Amino acid sequence: GADREDPKNEQLEAFRAHPAQDLLTTDQGVRIDDTDNSLRVGERGPTLLEDFQAREKLTHFDHERIPERVVHARGSAAYGYFEAYASLADLTCADFLSEAGLRTPVFVRFSTVQGPRGSADTVRDVRGFATKFYTREGNYDLVGNNMPVFFIQDAIKFPDFVHAVKPEPHNEMPTGGTAHDTFWDFCSLQPESTHMLMWAMSDRAIPRSLRMMQGFGVHTFRFVTADGRGTFVKFHWRPKLGVASQVWDEAQITAGKDPDFHRRDLWEAIEGGDYPEWELGVQLVAEQDETGFDFDILDATKLIPEEEVPVRVIGRMVLDRNPENFFAETEQAAFHTANVVPGIDFSNDPLLQGRNFSYLDTQLIRLGGPNFSQLPVNRPIADVNHNHRDGYGQQVIHSGTSYAPNSLNGDNPHQAGQDRQPGVFQHYQQRVDGDTIRKRSGSFSDHYSQATLFWNSMADWEKQHIVQAFRFELGKVENRAIRKRMVDNLTHVDHGLASAVAAGIGVDVPEQTGTANHGRSSAALSQQNLLPG
Ligand code: HEM
């Protein structure tokens, strides 16, 4: 894989360390005679402050760690390429989608969400699926998950959600997974999480391999053409190997026997030349059809059913090269939903709007200042030309002035201007009108229909797994009121589901409400002996 022509790989070559000689040196390139003994007075005497070699070695080591990501801390990544199947010029002016067969280098990082950097791979969790496309017109990041919806509708809830899902504040447990009180307390009080919970309790949350996961951009985005026409778009990655999961017992055993199970699987597949591959698909919705669904396409707790809008496959992605240095590449990679290129724009999804603030903000502290886009893994292959200057870790020796307009520097660099020009990003021109309010749209208020749809689409054995997952997870919740409240929420999804969960965790089986009952599934569950009686 590394042999194919790849402009990103060529760029990285300039940053790889190839020592010309094999004697140890200091940071300053001074050769040293002894790296095992510090400078001391006599054989048994105190160590001297003058020993700059020992001081440098210890100091650098003392500063090796950086903060882990505030979420998605554990991840594994690989390089590869995306190949477009056809020109999409009628839908978007995105250069990387402009030509059949055009290849664009990518870097993809898969992750769990909850656990710290050193946690096990095969826990019950959402998986991140973040792709950086190094396009000729700048970097485009598709920062998605392996599930098509999310727990919350508005980014302002994200700190609350993450504080609840992370380990308990007093004892830092559990380090991996979601079986604890604060997570279920939050979800039971925040019914918008119900649809995503159904996915998270399904087998989707315990993938067999990172190579066997779907990916989703989750939000509705926009394609924009060269003449400024917009189309709503949802992104889908589909693994060539198909979607496969572990069963829960298997996941728990692998977590114990090989906490790196997914990382090892991805690494070894690529080392062995068995390159994982995905197809990229899109669901397209015309601007005039924006409000034609019985949910809001700006609501990230909803998917667009494929029966209503089919997925059109537009390209494929192959991962064929492992990184050489985990820290330099995988750990320092910085993905950001706002890294878009001409032809791709946002929608008004309030979760996406907040993410567009949060990623750059967190990376400023995680990666130590404003110059992390110069790190090898983050560098665009497109030319970079701006008046940003200085800051910690500046790698570029800029020359000349750094302001515009500017008569001294031949007005260089200068802005492109408002006339539409190929390869220049222009925000989609959208008509917006309204009062400033803090209020969730009424179109975001149905929290159960798609959760029910998901439940009803499951085979009986998948339903069993979901019931068992709820029982396992809620069975670890100490506070009885939380268990009860969660079961009550589930009655709005399916009464049979709620009853089956309740019976397994010592909560009173709820009364038949008549609201959202689905006889077929209850019957199916009682056949599997998961229903009481
Ligand atoms: C990290 C996906 C919602 C803040 C990540 C990563 C992924 C991801 C895949 C890991 C990126 C990597 O591999 O480095 C998603 C998806 C979301 C979502 C699909 C919902 C649809 C949010 C929201 C916020 C947020 C609402 C905040 C308002 C963050 C932060 C990081 C992160 C701060 C760490 C980034 C870093 O340190 O580089 N997210 N996320 N996410 N996400 Fe999200």
- The stretches of 166-280 forming alpha helices (DSSP H) are 181-189, 194-200, 248-257, 261-271
Compute how many other C-beta atoms are within 10 angstroms of the C-beta atom of residue 181: 15
| Ligand 1 pocket, mutate which of 66, 68, 69 (most atoms under 8 A from CB) | 69
- Kindly state the tokens that stand for 403: 């302001």
Dihedral angle, C-alpha 157, 162, 165, 166, nearest 10 °: -160
Confidence of residue 510 (pLDDT cuts 50, 70, 90): confident
pLDDT tens-digit readout, 188-212: 999 999 999 999 999 999 999 999 9
Q: Which residue has the tokens 């990172």?
A: 210
* 261, 312 contact by CB (below 8 A): no
* 248, 208 contact by CB (below 8 A): no
Confidence of residue 523 (pLDDT cuts 50, 70, 90): very low
196 pocket-lining for ligand 1 (C-beta < 6 Å) = no
Angle (CA) 407-409-413 rounded to 5° is 105
pTM of the full structure: 0.95
Among the listed residues 144, 273, 254, the one whose alpha carbon sits nearest the alpha carbon of residue 209: 254
pLDDT tens-digit readout, 15-31: 998 877 789 999 999 99
Angle (CA) 131-133-136 rounded to 5° is 175
> What mean pLDDT comes out for the span 396-407?
93
363 pocket-lining for ligand 1 (C-beta < 6 Å) = yes
The rounded mean pLDDT for the chain is 94
Q: ipTM above 0.90?
A: yes
The region of weakest confidence among 164-178, 230-244, 280-294, 329-343 is 164-178
How far lies 514's CA from each of 140, 174, 194, 409, 498, in Å?
48, 37, 19, 74, 13
Compute how many other C-beta atoms are within 10 angstroms of the C-beta atom of residue 404: 13
| Ligand 1 pocket, mutate which of 68, 69, 70, 71 (most atoms under 8 A from CB) | 71
Cα of 382 vs centre of ligand 1, distance in Å, is 25
Computed from CA positions of residues 63, 362, 367, 118, in that sequence, does the dihedral angle turn out positive or negative? positive
300 pocket-lining for ligand 1 (C-beta < 6 Å) = yes
Q: How much is the pLDDT for 1?
A: 55
Q: Which residue has the tokens 């090892």?
A: 264
pLDDT tens-digit readout, 458-494: 999 999 999 999 999 999 999 999 999 999 999 999 9
Cα of 15 vs centre of ligand 1, distance in Å, is 28
Residue type, 51: D
- Kindly state the tokens that stand for 96: 């990387």
Residue whose CA is at the smallest distance from ligand 1 atom 3: 355
Dihedral angle, C-alpha 147, 151, 157, 162, nearest 10 °: -80
* 139, 293 contact by CB (below 8 A): no
**Bridge-partner residues for 129, per DSSP?**
110, 144
Confidence of residue 514 (pLDDT cuts 50, 70, 90): low
| Ligand 1 atom with the shortest distance to the CA of 156 | 28
Q: How much is the pLDDT for 420?
A: 85
d(CA 6, CA 315): 18
Ramachandran angles phi, psi of 234, nearest 5°: -115, 140
150 pocket-lining for ligand 1 (C-beta < 6 Å) = yes
Residue whose CA is at the smallest distance from ligand 1 atom 37: 69
Helix (H, G, I), strand (E, B) or coil at 54: helix
> What mean pLDDT comes out for the span 122-134?
98
> What mean pLDDT comes out for the span 60-86?
98
Q: How many residues does the chain have?
A: 533
Q: Which residue has the tokens 């599997």?
A: 528
Half-sphere exposure of 349 (CA within 13 A, CB side): 31
145 pocket-lining for ligand 1 (C-beta < 6 Å) = yes
Angle (CA) 239-354-74 rounded to 5° is 45
Q: What one-character DSSP code corresponds to residue 489?
A: H
Q: How much is the pLDDT for 99?
A: 98
d(CA 12, CA 328): 11
142 pocket-lining for ligand 1 (C-beta < 6 Å) = no
111 pocket-lining for ligand 1 (C-beta < 6 Å) = yes
Residue 343 φ/ψ region, left for φ over 0, alpha for ψ in the -120 to 50 degree band, beta for the rest: left
Cα of 336 vs centre of ligand 1, distance in Å, is 8
Cα of 51 vs centre of ligand 1, distance in Å, is 44
Q: How much is the pLDDT for 507?
A: 96
Catalytic annotation, residues? 72, 145
Q: What one-character DSSP code corresponds to residue 151?
A: S
In this structure, are strands 230-239 and 215-216 parallel, antiparallel, or unpaired? antiparallel
User: How far is it between the farthest Cα atoms of the chain?
Assistant: 88
282 pocket-lining for ligand 1 (C-beta < 6 Å) = no
Q: Which residue has the tokens 């009173």?
A: 508
